[in-house]
Structure 1
Amino acid sequence: MGYTTINLEILERKAILTLNRPQAMNAMDITMMQELADCMEELHQQPEVQVLIVKGEGRAFSAGGDIKMMLGANEAIDFETIMSYITRFAIGYYTLPMLTIAQIHGAAAGLAFSLALASDVIVAEDSTKLAMNFISIGLVPDGGGHFFMKERLGVAKAKQLIWEGKVMEAKEAFDQQLIDYVVPDGAAAATVDQIVGKVLASPIASMLATKEILHKEKLPELERILQAEAIAQAKMRQTKDHQEGITAFVEKRQPNFIGE
């Protein structure tokens, strides 16, 4: 299948998925969201692939959802369609019968951070900036962000970090147990290659069976959370705080939230 905003390369037992809108720091517009959903379904039809690496082209992993798209979503884009694509790729990625590795450099924010947190293994470079920063534009996490944060941190800590929405350095994210490896700048690819080599030399069928057992148990909860996120996101998009948040972002100023 041909894609315009992502690249998928299959190399025998390994596949590499590259987010490919470098001119926009790989921000996820509606086309990328649809292509990610389609790509996950394509990967489910590739039984020979046992490891998937997800990375970003250019200066960053991904800046998250495309803010310019959000500005025009009320008129030109069906919000329910956007959320359906997000739900499809979140469930598709979580249920992949392969070991997934996020290879992060530059930044992973918002929806892109949700995608990274859904991975089995997360490798980030020292200077990476990581943020579950939906609150900065008056929204809630989507892409299963609530679920994946809770899985790694527990409910109390997940709430606190979501509410704070701050930008974290890789070392802080590692100390919080949000990511698995911090490596020097420029070393993420080599580190991921080492992990892949070790995994493919292991009894990976057993590893993937364990993943299936644990994920199948949690899948209904993820589905419920994705549905709840879509409902909450639709409500938040109608608030004055959301409009102020995205306007302030575009104007490069601090937002003035009023709690409405």
Structure 2
Amino acid sequence: MTGGVRHEVRDGVSYLTLDRPEALNALTPDMRERLTGLLTRASADPAVRAVVLTGTGRGFCAGADLRGGAGGGERVPGDGAPETGDGARVPSGGGRTTGDGARAEKDAAPVPGDRAQVATDTAPVPGGGARVAGDVARVLRLGAQRLIAAVLDCEKPVLAAVNGTAAGLGAHLALACDLVLAAESARFIEVFVRRGLVPDGGGAYLLPRLAGPHRAKELMFFGDAVEAARAERLGLVNLVVPDAELAATAHAWAARLASGPTRALALTKQLVNASLEDGRSAAFAAESWAQEINMTTRDAQEGLRAFTERRAPHFDGR
């Protein structure tokens, strides 16, 4: 494990596990950079044919965490009471408190999004001086948005196994994945409005495409916790399973993805994602070229041979 993220490649699957359970797996800048790098590496590694993203403990990811330490030249704010991603404020005297039914460990300090990592007007900044216009946009672009883009652009299918609360940036990290499994205890929370903030980490891009604009606005305007069963009905989740079955189900789905025609899946992912932006002409042109490229792969040739020979294909991801 490095920087709160465990990583292993097993049976063609890259398993990325957020491992800061005491902080509900809130993302430090180092964790975020490591995830981004591992997703980029998965795209280029022919031994990796699928990715699984999950967390340890009671939370999937409670958002961004300042107290994990800043990195990459990010600016950190002055003192402030720690908050959990589900809206609970943690008392400095210790113990646990509740917010929307979720308990928070006393040392957890997640906050929604990366803007809280930009200095206040009075906080020190590199080279002296105070925060200036452009700092917030830069931190978001190079931080949360870059991580979400790494998930969307990964050339291997990315499966989220949401094991608990996914709040703020943590919710968007899950929703950016190609497939989403959720434990029955999972909850998704657009926590930004509770702090008077605008959603970041691609939330206003992802949610309307998954649930439609009216539902997206409802979730973002009110910031209510969405239980796993409702998240499935809204189209945010593919499947809800009992907590005890989440890991096994994720492994089974990942195994199916890893045994599939990897390049065809990459091109399919690219087509589907681009179709949400492009008109019909551009989508049809992209489809034609995707077919052209895919027909040069060994898996496509194997699939056609297997069809004519009336047998199951064996894809090697190339």
TM-score calculated relative to the size of structure 1: 0.76
Match of residue 104 from structure 1: 162
In 1, Cα distance between equivalents of 2:15 and 2:205: 25
Cα 1:86/1:11, change in 2 over 3 Å: same
Gaps of 5+ in 1: 221-260
Q: Is the 8 A contact 2:52 2:160 kept in 1?
A: yes
Comparing 32-41 with 70-79, greater Cα deviation is found at 70-79
In 1, Cα distance between equivalents of 2:39 and 2:256: 24
In 2, Cα distance between equivalents of 1:48 and 1:219: 31
Cα 1:193/1:76, change in 2 over 3 Å: farther
Q: Is the 8 A contact 1:37 1:85 kept in 2?
A: no
Which structure: larger Rg?
A: 2
The percent of aligned pairs where both chains have the same amino acid is 29
Match of residue 139 from structure 2: 81
In the TM superposition, residue 64 of structure 1 has moved relative to its aligned partner by 1.2
Cα 1:101/1:117, change in 2 over 3 Å: same
Match of residue 240 from structure 2: 182
In the TM superposition, residue 147 of structure 1 has moved relative to its aligned partner by 1.1
Cα 1:127/1:51, change in 2 over 3 Å: same
Amino acid at match of 1:156: H
Among 229, 238, 254, which residue is 1:171 paired with?
Answer: 229
Q: Is the 8 A contact 2:27 2:61 kept in 1?
A: yes
Match of residue 217 from structure 2: 159
Q: Does 1:119 align with 2:177?
A: yes
Cα 1:200/1:38, change in 2 over 3 Å: closer
Structure with the higher helix share, 1 or 2: 1
Cα 1:83/1:216, change in 2 over 3 Å: same
In 2, Cα distance between equivalents of 1:211 and 1:95: 9
Match of residue 94 from structure 1: 152
Q: Is the 8 A contact 1:44 1:96 kept in 2?
A: yes
Gaps of 5+ in 2: 70-75, 79-116, 126-134, 279-318
Q: Is the 8 A contact 1:5 1:35 kept in 2?
A: no
Match of residue 227 from structure 1: none
In 2, Cα distance between equivalents of 1:34 and 1:185: 29
Cα 1:194/1:39, change in 2 over 3 Å: closer
- Computed over aligned residues only, the root mean square deviation of the Cα atoms, in angstroms, reads 2.4
Match of residue 130 from structure 1: 188
Amino acid at match of 2:150: G
Match of residue 212 from structure 1: 270
Superposed counterparts of 1:34-53, under 5 Å: 34-53=33-52
Match of residue 55 from structure 1: 54
Amino acid at match of 2:254: V
Amino acid at match of 1:7: R
In the TM superposition, residue 87 of structure 1 has moved relative to its aligned partner by 1.9
In the TM superposition, residue 86 of structure 1 has moved relative to its aligned partner by 1.4
In the TM superposition, residue 83 of structure 1 has moved relative to its aligned partner by 4.2
In 2, Cα distance between equivalents of 1:13 and 1:209: 19
In 1, Cα distance between equivalents of 2:219 and 2:37: 31
Amino acid at match of 2:16: L
Cα 1:176/1:10, change in 2 over 3 Å: same
Q: Is the 8 A contact 1:30 1:82 kept in 2?
A: no
In the TM superposition, residue 67 of structure 1 has moved relative to its aligned partner by 6.1
SS at match of 2:64: coil
TM-score calculated relative to the size of structure 2: 0.63
